[in-house]
Structure 1
Amino acid sequence: MLPDRGRWRNAVNLLLCMAAVAGVLVGGWSMLDTYETRKHRAESRRVIGEACAGLADADEVMRLDGGADRLGISGLNPEIIDIEGLPDRCELGRVGVKAGKDYFRSHFTLAVRALPQADPLHVLDTFLDESPFVRRVSGDDADITARTRIEQRHPLGDGSAGDYDSSAVAVTVRCAAPAEGGTTAIRASAIADYAAGTTTAADRRRLSRLARTAAGRAAAEVGCATSVPELPADLPVPARDLGSATGRQDSCGWYAEYLRGQDRGRLPDRALGVPVAAASRQESCLLAVGPSEVKRIFPQLTEEERGRASLREVLTSSPWWIRTRAFFEEEAAVAYKETRYPTQIDPGEAGHKGQLRWATATCQGRPAVFTLSAGEFRYSRMVESRLAALFTAYAEHTAARRGCVNLVLPGAG
C-alpha cells in the first residue's frame, strides 16, 4: 500500500507505477516481437537461397511490396530452381496467418533461361491472337481501344541489357564464348507477383537489381564468362494509352511513314509503340481503330464482311486491331501454332497462315523474325487486300533501321 501523502500525490504515484509496469510489458513484447521478426527473416533468407539456388539477393526480395519478413515457397507444386536444368524458376509467397493457419500470397518469381533453348521462346497463334483490350458488354459510349490491358515491354537503355514492364525486369548477359551445352546467353527475369498496378518505381529498381544479380550469378554457375551490364537508374511505367497513328517516332514510326503516302481507308487510326532502341531483342507496335472510325467504316461493309457482327459488338467486345512484333538474336526463337504442336520459324523462311504473317532476316550475323497479326478474324478479312503491302512496309522499314540483310518476305496473298 502506498503511504498516505495526500489524495493527489497518491494518485500520481499510482499512475507512475502503472506506467512503469506497462513499460516493462511493452518492452518485453517489443523484445519478443523483434526476436520473432529476426527469426522469420533468417528463415526467409534460407528459403529464398534454397528455392532460387543462391541467385537472388534475399534482402532485396524481402524489401519488395513495402517489406515482408516471412516468405515461403508458394503453391501446391513448389517451383525451385535447378541450375542444371534451365530453364527453371522459383516462386515465393508472402506468409500470413488467418484463423491460426498460415496462408500464402504471391510475392516474387525469378525465372532463368540458358539460351538458346530447345523449345521456342515465343509461340504465336495463327487464328486467335490474345486480345490486348478489355471487353465491355455494355455502354453506347464505349472506347475500348483507347487503352490496352497488356503492357508492351520497353528496352533497358539501348536494349542490349534486356527489357521491362511495370512489374517485371528481364536482364540478358551474353557469353564471351559458348559455355557447356552451347549456351551463348543467360536471361534472368525478376517478376513482382503481388497485385497488378501496385509496383512502385522503387520496386522496379529492386527488380532490375535482382535480375542483374541473378543473370551474373547464373552465368558464373554455367561457365558463361560475361560482363554484367549496367542498368538505367529510372524505369518509367510503360504507356498503355493509344494515340494518333500519325507523326510517331517510336516503334510505330514505320506505320506513320506508310500512311504519309497512302489512303488509310479501313486501316487503324490509333497506335501505341515502344521506344526505339538500337539493340532491342524484341519490340512491338499495336494499331487499333477508334470508335469514330468504326462508326464511319461499319456502314460501308458488305453483308459478308459484317457476318453476324453488329456495330455495338465491334464497339464493346470485338475491336479491330493489328499488332507487329520483331524478335532479334536469341529472342528470334519463334514458332506459330496452327495445330496442337507449334511449328518453328527457321532462318530464311517466310509465310502466311490464318491471321499471322512472318518474315526472317539476318541482323549483324544473327537471326531476326518479323511478324504481323490481324487480331480479329472479321477485321482481318476486311483489310486482307492491304495486309501484304502493309507487312512488307513494316518488315523493310524495321530491317533497314536495324541494319539487317537477307530479308525474306512471304508471297502475296
Structure 2
Amino acid sequence: MAQRIWLIVCVILLIPIRTLGQEMPLKVGVVGLSHSHVHWILSDLDRKDIDVVGIVEPNKDLAQRYAQQYGYSMSIVYNTIKEMIAATHPEAVTAFGSIYEHLHVVEVCAPEGVHVMVEKPLAVSVEHAKKMKMLARKHNIHLLTNYETTWYPTNHKAYELLKENYIGTTRKIIVRDGHKGPKKIGVNKEFLDWLTDPIQNGGGAITDFGCYGANLTTWLMEGEKPSTVTAVTLQQQPENNPKVDDDATIILTYNDNVKVIIQASWNWPIGRKDMEIYGVNGVIYVDNKHDMRIHISKGYDGFTAETFNLEERTPPFNDPFALLKAVVRNEVALKPNDLTALENNMIVVEILEAAIKSAKLGKTVKLSAID
C-alpha cells in the first residue's frame, strides 16, 4: 500500500514538470467571419500552437454555415467582443470583419490587454489609424496587420538582394496585385457587401489591393515616406462595383530619386501578386510566392539570368498566426519597418488616403499635406 501511495505522489509531482516542458498554445479569439481570409485560420483549427477559444459573429446564419464546414461548436460563438473576452479570456484576437470595424476591435480589446492582428489594411483612414495606434501604445498591446504577401519567400529574397546591392541602386519598383473582381471570383455575399462599400472598406481596388504595394514599398524603402502621391482610378465594372473604383494606378516619388508604380485592380484577367524592382545594373522579377528571376545587364539589351524556386520560410516567419504567437510571447521583436509592424502600416494608410485624395482632386498630393 505504501509503495502504491508513493507511486501516486510521484505521478502527481511529475505532471507539473511535464506541463512546464510543454509550451501552451496561444489563446485566440476570432472577431468576425465575413472576410473570406478567415478560412486561413478556420481550416487549421487542429494546429497545436493556436487555440481558437471564441468567435464573435452576430450573423448566426454565417456562423452556423462555417460551423458545419469546419466542425467548431456554436457554443463558442458570441454576439460581442466583450462577451467573448469575458467568457474565454483570449490573449489575442484576429479581426476578420470590415476594415472600418478595425477601430472598434482595438477600442474594446486594448483596455483589456488583448493583442490584435487585423487583415490588411490597418484602417480606413489616417484618423482611425491614429486612434488605434494611441490605444495600442496606451495599453501596451501589439497591433499587427496581416498581408498574404508577407509570407512570400520571394519577397524576402528580393529584400535581401537589394540590401546586398545585387542590382545596384534602386530606381523603380512596380507592384501589381488583384484579380477579376470580388463578384466575378465568387466571394461570399457577406464579404461582397462591405468590400464594395466605400465606408466599410475605405475604397474599392485602391484600398483592397493598393495596400499591398504600399506595404511592400515602405518595407523595401526602409520605412521612408514618399514625398508625393499621384493616383488615377477607374470603374470598369459599374454593374458589379457601383459605389467604388475597381482599378487604380498609384505613383509614388521619393526624395532619393526612386519612383514606385502600384497597379491595383479588380480587372486583371488572371489573379496576380507580383513585383519588379529595377536597379541601375539589373532587375528582380518576383513572379509569385515561390518563383523569381534576376536579370543583370550586359551591353544594350543583353543580360545574364538567374532563376529561383524558393521553399517556404521557416517558422514562425511562414504563417501569420505563428508569428502572432511569437510576438505575443516575446519570442520575436518586430522592427518598425517590418511588414506586419504598426509603424509600417501607419505609413500604408497615409499613402492610401493620399491616393484617394489625389484621384478625387485629379492632382498630385504631397504626403506631408495630409490633414
Query: What range is the shorter-chain TM-score in?
Result: under 0.3
More helix as a share of residues: 2
Pick 1 or 2: higher relative contact order, CA cutoff 8 A, min separation 6.
2
TM-score by length of 2: 0.25
Higher radius of gyration, 1 or 2: 1
